[in-house]
């Protein structure tokens, strides 16, 4: 078949456009195949007396609300794997722990969209079913509040671990399971991004290789003590958890990574909290 110059150009341009479109579609499909990054809401219910409470709050009042009202309402809205924890004092030398006196209650919720976060925060307690499920907490007397205050953070999952992961021992509710929550503060917003990149580019994979069972990694978008990131690792028992961390420090991959110049000075404060799940926690 003979083509004149005009037909040849038309055919070539059409072929190029088709190839470009195909390439864009392939790239889009590849991007769409990646799991969407989740959002996390982390709440801290302070129960220890300060300016609002004259005496420490009774944790049973909050427990009843969380178990009977909040968690069922979240599940109806498709929000599952809600973690509810209190803090532990840990003696690392003997791998033993005791409940932390005056511990706050930590609640971790997963949202697929910002709209989900906004709806839960703004509308859930206005739900008649929630109000009916636990009037004692929602209509508590001013003279005896159910908490001193609530702190709340909104976090965005890291690219390197875009969705929350529930370890098998957590799904089976192993009685001795333990969680450790760490938040890393940075002295500048750019250095905070550097620490996030450090996780995305190696630390997350290393933790998984060492059996540290990370649950989530999140960049704090709103809340106190910004900029910072926060994450949780876990184990079926405290001794295993501490042993896993002992493997992390001397691992050659970490030794090499921590001295790379692009990661220098990216953390100004590291706060670690050992957590134990409430009996009704879904993690």
Closest among 148, 143, 177 to 59, alpha carbons compared: 148
- Could you read off the pLDDT of 170-192 as tens digits, one per residue? 999 999 999 999 999 999 999 99
Token digits of residue 177: 């399971």
The full set of domains in the chain, from first to last, is: 36-277 (3.30.70.100)
pLDDT band for 32, please (50, 70, 90 cuts). Answer: low
Q: Which of 38-42, 63-67, 132-136, 206-210 has the lowest mean pLDDT?
A: 132-136
Residue 268 tokens read as 């100004």
Question: Which pairing describes strands 96-99 and 83-91: parallel, antiparallel, or unpaired?
Answer: antiparallel
pLDDT band at 34 (very low <50, low <70, confident <90, very high): confident
Dihedral angle, C-alpha 241, 244, 250, 253, nearest 10 ° = -120
Residue 97: helix, strand or coil by DSSP? strand
Q: What is the pLDDT of residues 103-132, one digit of tens each?
A: 999 999 999 999 999 999 889 999 999 999
Map residue 40 onto helix, strand or coil: strand
Q: What pLDDT is stored for residue 35 in this prediction?
A: 86
Phi/psi region, residue 95 (left: phi>0; alpha: psi -120 to 50; beta: rest), is left
Q: Is the pLDDT of residue 146 over 60?
A: yes
Side-chain-facing half-sphere of 208: CA atoms under 13 Å: 15
- % of the chain residues with pLDDT over 90: 83
Residue 8 has pLDDT above 70, yes or no: no
Give me the chain's average pLDDT, please.
90
What are φ and ψ of residue 118, in 5° steps?
-65, -40
This prediction's pTM: 0.86
Helices and strands: H and E segment counts in the chain? 11, 9
pLDDT over threshold 80, residue 14: no
């Amino acid at each position: 078949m003979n083509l004149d110059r005009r037909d040849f150009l038309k055919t070539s341009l059409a072929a190029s456009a088709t190839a470009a479109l195909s390439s864009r579609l392939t790239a889009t499909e590849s991007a769409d195949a990646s799991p969407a990054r989740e959002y996390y809401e982390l709440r801290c219910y302070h129960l220890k007396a300060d300016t609002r409470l004259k005496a420490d709050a009774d944790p049973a009042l909050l427990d009843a609300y969380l178990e009977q009202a909040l968690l069922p309402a979240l599940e109806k809205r498709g929000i599952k794997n809600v973690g509810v924890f209190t803090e532990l004092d840990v003696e690392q030398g003997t791998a033993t722990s005791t409940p932390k006196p005056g511990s706050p209650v930590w609640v971790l919720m997963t949202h697929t969209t910002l709209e989900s976060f906004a709806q839960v925060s703004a509308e859930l307690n206005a739900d008649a079913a929630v109000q009916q499920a636990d009037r004692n907490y929602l209509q508590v007397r001013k003279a005896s509040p159910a908490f001193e205050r609530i702190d709340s953070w909104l976090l965005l999952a890291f690219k390197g671990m875009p969705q929350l992961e529930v370890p098998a021992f957590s799904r089976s509710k192993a009685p001795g399971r333990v969680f450790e929550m760490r938040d890393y503060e940075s002295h500048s917003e750019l250095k905070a991004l550097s620490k996030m990149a450090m996780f995305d580019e190696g630390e997350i994979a290393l933790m998984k290789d060492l059996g540290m069972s990370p649950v989530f990694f999140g960049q704090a978008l709103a809340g106190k003590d910004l900029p910072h990131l926060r994450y949780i690792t876990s184990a079926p028992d405290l001794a295993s958890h501490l042993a896993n961390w002992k493997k992390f420090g001397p691992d050659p991959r970490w030794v090499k990574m921590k001295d790379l110049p692009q990661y220098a000075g990216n953390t100004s404060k590291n706060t670690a909290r050992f957590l134990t799940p409430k009996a009704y926690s879904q993690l």
